[in-house]
C-alpha cells in the first residue's frame, strides 16, 4: 500500500480509527526513531557489559531476569494484543525507563567514572526514551486511544536503595535496565512497524 | 631643577586642595546617570550635583557649572539650572557613539576645575534575527546560523535556544568571533522534532527570532561515499562499473546520488541522469563510454527525498575502458 493511499489498517485495531496523512507521517517518524533507538540500545548494552568486568560478558553468565521496580520485559502475549493496547504498554514502559536509566548512570558514575562514553550513552538513553515515549503517546492520542501516565517515583527509589547493598547488585541492576531498555524499544519498533503503510500485518 | 620645583608646587597644590575637601580622591560632585547607554537618535539629559562642602570652599553654586563633551564646551542654551546645587544638560538626537561628558566649575573667576566625568555610550537595540537555519554534519553536532540584523554598535549577545516537546536543552551562547552561528552541545537525535530560535539582547533591548521546528534528519549533510573504485569489463569496452561504500547514515535513511565523470583530459564533468541514482545503492555501471579511454569519477549523496544537504564530493577514482575487441583485429 502506498503511503498516500487508503488508511492504515490494522486488523486488530478499532475499525472507527481513520489516520490522517499527518498521523501517517508521525507514525513513520516514530517508527524510524524506535528503529534508531533499538540500534543505540544494542550499543549501550554492549558497552555496559564491557565496563563491568567478569563475570559480566562471560558466555555462561545469566543473572535472574527479575522485574525491576515493577517493570517487566514485554509479555509473551504482547504481540497478540490490539495495536492500541500494545502501544499503551510500550508508552508505559518508556516512561518508566528514564528514571531507572538515571539510577544506573549514577551508579556507573561511581563504579566507572572514566567510562565517559558509557555515562553519556546512559544519559542520552534516558532522554531518548522520554522522547520516544512522548511520540508514542502522541500517536495514541491521534488514534483516539487513551494514553498511559508516568509511573510513580517510589518504585525507582526502591531500586536505588536495593542496590546500596553492594557493587554486584548495582551492576546486575544496570544490566537488567539496559536489557529492558533494549527489549522495549525493539518491541515499540515492532508495534509501530505494523501501523506503517506497507509494514507487516 | 626648574622641573623639580614645578612638580613640588603642583604636588603641594593638590595636597592642600584635597586636604581642604577631605579625602584625596573625593570629587566635588557627581553626574547622574553614571554610565549611560542611550539609543542613537534619542534625547539624553545628565544632571551634575555639587557637594555642599565644595560649594562652600570654592564659593560656587550650580550657576558656575559648565559642561564639556570631548573637551568642547557645550552652549549654555542646553543647560538647565535645577536648583542651587544641580545643573542639567540635554542632548537631542544623539548621533555620536562614544561621548566623554564632563561637569566643570569656574572657581575664583578664572580657574576651571573638573567636577566629574562620564562616558555616554550610544547604540541601537537589536533587530529580530532572521533566516535562521540549521545543519547537521553527519557524526557532528547541529550548527545553526542566522542573519543578526543591523549593526547595534553595542555588545550584543545572541543565544540559540532549542527544545523538544518533552524537554529543554541548554542555551547555546555564541562566541565573540562567531556571533551569528552556534553549535549545540548535545548530539543530534534524528526522528524527534526540535524547536529552535535565537534571542538577541543588548543593553537597549531583547528580541527573539521566529521559531523553526524540524526533524534533524531533514537537515543532514551526509559524509560522502568512500572507497569509490572503478572496474572495467573485458566483454564490453563501453562500460565501467563503480562501487563504493555509503556512510553509516544509510542505515536509517535512504540516499540519492549525483555521479559525475569526465575523461582524464577534459575540464568539464558529465553527470549521470539523477533519476537513475535516486535511491540507496552501492554500485553503478556507466555505459556508452569510449573504448580504451581513461575516465575519472566522483560521487556525492543526500537524503533520498531531497531534504537536507548534499555531501561533499567523494575522492575521485579513475578507470580505463577495455580495448574494443573488434578494432583490435
**Could you read off the pLDDT of A16-47 as tens digits, one per residue?**
444 567 889 999 999 999 999 999 999 999 99
**Could you read off the pLDDT of B12-26 as tens digits, one per residue?**
665 555 555 445 568
Quote the pLDDT of residue A144.
Answer: 85
Cβ distance of A131 and B164 shorter than 8 Å: yes
CA distances from B99 to B39, B123, B151 (A): 13, 12, 19
Quote the pLDDT of residue A6.
Answer: 31
Of the ranges A147-151, A165-169, B18-22, B284-288, which is most confident? Answer: B284-288
The Cα A107–Cα A194 span in angstroms is 37
The Cα A186–Cα A90 span in angstroms is 10
Q: Is residue A57 part of a domain?
A: no
User: Could you say which residues of chain B have pLDDT below 50?
Assistant: 21-22, 328-329
Q: Is residue A75 part of a domain?
A: no
Of the candidates A97, A91, A96, A98, the residue with the CA atom closest to the CA atom of residue A137:
A91
Cβ distance of B167 and A36 shorter than 8 Å: no
Quote the pLDDT of residue B12.
Answer: 65
pTM for the model stands at 0.81
The Cα B168–Cα B82 span in angstroms is 52
Quote the pLDDT of residue A72.
Answer: 87
Quote the pLDDT of residue B52.
Answer: 92
Q: Is residue A48 part of a domain?
A: no
Instruction: Report DSSP state, residue A15.
Output: T
Quote the pLDDT of residue A155.
Answer: 53
Q: Is residue A175 part of a domain?
A: yes
Quote the pLDDT of residue B93.
Answer: 87
Cβ distance of B192 and A39 shorter than 8 Å: no
Using 50, 70 and 90 to split pLDDT, how confident is the model at A15?
very low
Quote the pLDDT of residue A163.
Answer: 54
Quote the pLDDT of residue B129.
Answer: 97
pLDDT (average), residues A143-157: 61
Q: Is residue A162 part of a domain?
A: yes
Using 50, 70 and 90 to split pLDDT, how confident is the model at A157?
low
Of the candidates A5, A12, A8, A34, the residue with the CA atom closest to the CA atom of residue A23:
A8
Q: Is residue A44 part of a domain?
A: no
Using a CB-CB cut-off of 8 Å, the residues of chain A touching B192 are: 33, 128, 131, 135
Quote the pLDDT of residue B71.
Answer: 84
**Could you read off the pLDDT of B185-194 as tens digits, one per residue?**
998 999 999 9
ipTM: 0.80
How many structural domains is chain A composed of? 1
Using 50, 70 and 90 to split pLDDT, how confident is the model at A8?
very low
Q: Is residue A174 part of a domain?
A: yes
Using a CB-CB cut-off of 8 Å, the residues of chain B touching A134 are: 164-166
Cβ distance of B252 and A32 shorter than 8 Å: yes
Domain span including residue A87: 83-196
Q: Is residue A135 part of a domain?
A: yes
Phi-psi group of A65: left, alpha or beta (phi > 0 → left; psi -120 to 50 → alpha; rest → beta): beta
Amino acid at each position: 500500500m502506498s503511503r498516500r493511499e487508503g488508511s492504515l489498517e490494522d486488523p486488530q485495531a478499532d475499525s472507527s480509527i481513520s489516520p490522517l496523512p499527518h498521523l501517517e507521517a508521525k507514525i513513520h517518524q516514530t517508527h524510524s526513531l524506535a528503529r534508531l533507538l533499538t540500534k543505540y540500545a544494542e550499543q549501550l548494552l554492549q558497552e555496559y557489559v564491557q565496563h563491568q568486568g567478569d563475570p559480566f560478558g562471560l558466555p555462561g553468565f545469566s543473572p535472574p531476569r527479575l522485574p525491576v521496580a515493577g517493570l517487566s520485559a514485554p509479555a509473551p502475549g504482547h504481540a497478540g494484543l490490539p495495536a492500541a493496547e500494545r502501544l499503551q504498554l510500550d508508552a508505559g514502559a518508556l516512561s518508566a525507563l528514564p528514571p531507572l536509566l538515571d539510577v544506573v548512570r549514577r551508579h556507573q558514575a561511581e563504579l566507572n567514572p572514566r567510562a565517559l562514553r558509557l555515562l553519556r550513552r546512559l544519559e542520552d538513553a534516558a532522554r531518548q526514551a522520554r522522547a520516544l515515549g512522548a511520540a508514542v503517546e502522541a500517536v495514541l492520542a491521534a488514534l483516539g486511544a487513551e494514553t498511559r501516565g508516568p509511573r510513580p517515583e517510589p518504585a525507582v527509589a526502591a531500586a536505588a536503595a536495593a542496590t546500596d547493598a553492594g557493587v554486584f547488585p548495582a551492576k546486575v541492576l544496570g544490566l537488567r535496565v539496559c536489557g529492558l531498555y533494549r527489549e522495549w524499544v525493539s518491541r515499540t519498533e515492532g508495534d509501530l512497524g505494523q501501523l506503517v503503510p506497507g509494514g507487516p500485518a | 631643577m626648574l622641573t623639580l620645583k614645578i612638580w613640588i608646587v603642583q604636588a603641594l597644590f593638590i595636597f592642600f586642595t584635597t586636604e581642604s575637601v577631605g579625602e584625596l580622591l573625593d570629587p566635588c560632585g557627581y553626574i547622574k546617570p553614571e554610565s549611560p547607554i542611550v539609543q542613537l537618535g534619542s534625547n539624553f539629559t545628565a544632571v551634575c550635583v555639587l557637594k555642599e562642602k565644595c560649594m562652600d570652599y570654592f564659593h560656587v553654586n550650580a550657576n558656575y557649572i559648565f559642561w564639556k563633551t570631548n573637551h568642547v564646551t557645550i552652549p549654555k542654551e542646553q543647560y538647565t539650572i535645577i536648583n542651587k546645587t544641580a545643573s542639567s544638560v540635554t542632548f537631542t538626537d544623539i548621533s555620536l557613539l562614544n561621548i566623554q561628558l564632563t561637569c566643570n566649575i569656574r572657581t575664583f573667576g578664572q580657574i576651571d576645575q573638573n567636577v566629574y566625568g562620564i562616558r555616554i555610550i550610544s547604540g541601537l537595540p537589536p533587530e529580530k534575527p532572521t533566516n535562521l537555519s540549521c545543519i547537521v554534519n553527519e557524526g557532528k553536532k547541529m550548527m545553526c546560523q542566522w542573519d543578526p540584523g543591523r549593526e547595534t554598535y553595542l555588545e550584543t549577545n545572541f543565544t540559540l535556544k532549542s527544545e523538544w516537546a518533552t524537554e529543554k536543552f541548554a542555551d547555546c551562547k555564541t562566541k565573540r568571533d562567531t556571533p551569528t552561528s552556534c553549535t549545540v552541545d548535545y548530539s543530534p537525535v534524528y526522528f524527534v522534532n526540535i524547536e529552535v530560535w535565537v534571542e538577541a539582547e543588548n543593553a537597549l533591548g531583547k528580541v527573539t527570532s521566529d521559531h523553526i521546528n524540524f526533524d534533524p534528519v531533514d537537515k543532514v549533510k551526509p559524509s560522502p561515499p568512500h572507497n569509490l573504485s572503478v572496474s572495467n569489463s573485458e566483454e564490453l569496452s563501453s562500460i565501467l562499473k563503480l562501487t563504493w561504500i555509503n556512510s553509516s547514515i544509510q542505515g536509517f535513511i535512504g540516499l540519492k546520488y549525483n555521479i559525475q565523470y569526465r575523461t582524464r583530459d577534459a575540464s568539464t564533468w558529465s553527470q549521470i541522469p539523477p533519476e537513475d541514482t535516486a535511491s540507496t545503492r552501492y554500485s553503478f555501471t556507466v555505459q556508452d563510454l569510449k573504448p580504451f579511454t581513461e575516465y575519472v569519477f566522483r560521487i556525492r549523496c543526500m537524503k533520498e527525498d531531497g531534504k537536507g544537504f548534499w555531501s561533499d564530493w567523494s575522492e575521485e577514482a579513475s578507470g580505463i575502458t577495455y580495448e574494443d575487441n573488434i578494432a583490435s583485429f
